Structure formats: C-alpha cells, structure tokens
Amino acid sequence: MSKNKSSDSRGLNIIVVGCGKVGVTLIDQLSKEGHNITIIDNNFSKIQHLSNLYDVMGVCGNGATLSIQQDAGVETADLFIAVTGSDELNLLCCTVAMSVKDIATIARVRTPDYSEEAEKLRAKLGLDMIINPELESAREAARILYLPTVLEVNKFAHNNVEMVKFKIPEGNKLDGMTLIQLNRSISSDVLVCGVDRDGAIHIPSGQFILRAGDKISIVAKRKSAREFLYKIGFDTHQVKDAMIIGGGKSAYYLALQLIRAGIEVKIIEQDKARCEELSSLLPKATIINGDGTDEDILREEGIEDVQSFVPLTGIDEENVMLTLFARQNSQAKVITKVNRLTFRSVIDSLDLGSLIYPSFITSEAIIRYVRAKKDSMESNIETLYHIFSQRAEAIEFRVHKDCPLIGKPLMDLKLKNELLLACITRGESVLIPRGQDVLKAGDSVVVVTVHTGFTDIEDILA
C-alpha cells in the first residue's frame, strides 16, 4: 500500500484496475466526487505517482490475482472497475472480484468479437456494465457526420431529444440577438442552454446577447433542432462520403455505422494484412493499402472533394496534423480523435473541427452509473454528458413519484446559480420549461450546470 486515506462516508469504496488513460480519467473524476479509490496496476512508479497526486490508495500487482484484490480491500468495496488494455484480463478481474462477494463490476471490452455479443456476455458473467471506448467514440463521430455543420450532438430521452453544439459564424442572423428575440422571431421550440465565449462558460438568461464566434448548445426535439439550424442558414443533410485514416477498431466501428446510414466509406490503412481483414469485414467499404499520412496519397484518393475526413491513427500528433492538412486542402467536415489528456488548452485553441476524447466518453458512462448507484432515491441519473471541454454537465434525471419537487411551479423553486432546466420529457411530449410549468412523476428532466456531483434532481435546489 502506497498511501492511506481516511474513510469518506459520502462516497463509495471503488477499486480501479488499470492506470492507463481511461483509468487516470476515472481516478480524477471519481476522487473529485468524494469516493474512496484504490488503484491496482503492475507499474509501481505509476501507482506511486497517482497515489500522491490524487490521495488514493495504491496496490502494485496483477489485478486478476485474488491476493492482490484482497490487499486492495475487495471484501469491503462497493464497485470494481477493470480498465486495463486487455479485454480478457478485465473480464477475469471482474470474475475474481465477484467470486469474493456480491459486488458491482464494470469491464472495458474493446474487441469487436466480444462487443457484438456484449449484452449476452454481460448477463452471462453477471457484470453490471461492459463499456467499449472505441465503439462509443464511433457512435459519437457518426452522430456528428449525420449533422456535419455542428460540433457536437448528444442524445437524451431515448434519442428523442438532442443537445446540439455549433459555432455562430460571422454574419449569421444570431449575431447580436438576445435569447428573448431568438425565442420570438426564430423558434420557441429550442432552448439555448450554454454558451462558450472566449473560454468562459455562460448559462444564459433571456437578456443574454449572442455574438459571432460563440459556441452555443441548444436543446430540442430532433426535428425542431434541424428546423432551427436550417432557419439560421446551416446545412442539415448528412455527409455523402467519408475518408478515414487508419484501420483500427475505431475505424471499423465508425465505418460500420456510416455504411448502415448509406454513407460511402474509404479507409486508408498501411498494414496490408489489416486491409485484407477489413475488406472481408466491410465489403461495402473501399479499403486502400497505403500511408494515410502521405500528402500525395491523400490527394490521389480525393481529399479535396471528400465531404468528411476522420483521422483515426493511434498517434494524436498525426491525427492533429492530418486534420490541419484537411482544413487547408478541402471543405470536408473533420473530426479529430484525441487520446492524450494533456495539453487540452492547446488542442482546444486549434481549428480541429469536432473533437472526440474516448477516455472522457468512457468515464462519463461509468460516472453516470456511479452517481446512480450512490443515490438511494429512485429519481436517478438516466444520461450524463460533460460539455464545453468538461467545464459543465448536462444530466438527465428521472423524477420519482415521491420527489418533493413535484407539483411546484418552476418559478417558485429556489435553484442554484449557473444552472438551467433545459427540457422536460413527458411521455411523447418534449417541453421547453417555462416558469409556470410543474414536474410530474415519470418526467425526464435535463439539467445543464457548471456544478458537479449531482446525483438526484433535488440537487438543483440552492
């Protein structure tokens, strides 16, 4: 044990096996939320560094070994999370933990063969969750390419509600408009729930004035969001084709999503054996054996005319350079996948189109589960997204029949500052909340806030 930590009655006892990028992201998020974390990894120097940095306990060794898990306190743990680089090891770690006690378990599983049977595998082994960073990243990238003029698309209320982020261009009709004017003159079916202006996050009121260059997030039903974007001059058609650089797991998952949506896919991969494998797995895709970082090959394969460009190499620097090259040489919608968690401010300052961080996508799913598990009420978290570069959260809560907020006009509730009720889903109806509206049992409520750690709808109260 490298460091002892006093018990926190507010938090869960959580064991995290694997201190790679996903593991570090989880440790960072979970420790901020007051949980008692114990980490397991074979790398002693990494354990020592993280133990000191985050004030967590650390055990060096094989996380699938019973004795190591016992040293980490598995008998008293509430949750066991395995996020090493090996699918098989993660599954074995969880199986060993469940042999000791009835404990909630989460495993990272990335291999397509396993992922296609993930639900059966989860049920058979008794796991609470199987999470696949590459698959979740591909789904996020596909959502953006279905609506390529935006930066980000998040889904709520069983995909009936969308949160769409876009940048206001120069000369756009939104420039200089207050939110009240927007509501009256363009659409009352959308709500601007967040604005990023020069790095500062605003949860805006009706008097807030929009400016060109603002990155804004709106919440609306899917159809209403597209109608709104069309009214302000945005193209709402999905891309017709996509060029993907790199033929790894992420490329496979993304290509599969796009082909199903009728989008033509071209993958450029350097390894010949992998090209042959992809040709078999994706018969409707065009697979090119070549160096996707070679300018001549990119031009030869038509980068100037392609509608979307997604570099998915395993090297962040290559992905960034390829994106910048595409920005200079085409009008393509670009999506940049970034694995590294450092230099966020530098990356955010570059013109890289839509950014995807697999580690954050994975941690969001797990954090959502942890918060719901921690809360004893039934009005738990349905969906959670970190937005605006992790500086705000959008959380969907289910309202339980015993919730004390039910029946009270929203205008009478004393809410925390920097917080907004973005929408209420009631059956098939999606409501943009007004002051006289009330919550009812069974509602889904989307809350946008710069506060962190909410586990229940009641946390919105001041």
* pLDDT tens for each residue of 363-391: 888 888 888 776 544 447 888 888 887 88
Last residue of a domain, one of 88, 110, 131: 131
**Are 407 and 328 members of one domain?**
no
**Are 412 and 446 members of one domain?**
yes
List helix spans (H) across 167-270.
179-185, 222-231, 249-260
What is the rounded distance in angstroms from the CA atom of residue 221 to the CA atom of residue 82?
Answer: 36
Q: Do residues 51 and 58 make contact, with C-beta atoms less than 8 angstroms apart?
A: yes
CA–CA distances in Å: residue 430 to residues 55, 189, 385, 400? 43, 9, 19, 18
Q: Which residues contact 305 (CB under 8 A, 6 or more apart)?
A: 330
Q: Do residues 121 and 114 make contact, with C-beta atoms less than 8 angstroms apart?
A: yes
Q: Which residues contact 126 (CB under 8 A, 6 or more apart)?
A: 98, 105
Q: Ramachandran region of residue 455, left (φ > 0), alpha (ψ -120 to 50) or beta? A: alpha
Give the pLDDT confidence of 410-458 residue by residue, as tens digits: 999 999 999 999 999 998 889 999 899 999 999 999 999 999 888 889 9
pLDDT at 462 over 60: yes
CA–CA distances in Å: residue 337 to residues 133, 323, 346? 12, 10, 15
Q: What is the pLDDT of residue 127?
A: 92
Q: What is the pLDDT of residue 10?
A: 60
Q: Residue 375: inside a domain, yes or no?
A: yes
Q: Residue 432: inside a domain, yes or no?
A: yes
Report the mean per-residue pLDDT for the chain.
90
**Are 335 and 423 members of one domain?**
no
- Please count the other Cβ atoms lying within 10 Å of the Cβ belonging to residue 158: 11
Range of the domain at 118: 13-131
pLDDT at 6 over 60: no
Q: What is the pLDDT of residue 1?
A: 43
**Are 278 and 373 members of one domain?**
no
Q: What is the CATH number of the domain that holds 269?
A: 3.40.50.720
Stretch 47-67: mean pLDDT, rounded?
95
Closest CA to 20 of 77, 72, 81: 81
Range name among 63-72, 328-337, 453-462 with the lowest pLDDT average:
453-462
- How many domains are contained in the chain? 3
Q: What is the pLDDT of residue 374?
A: 66
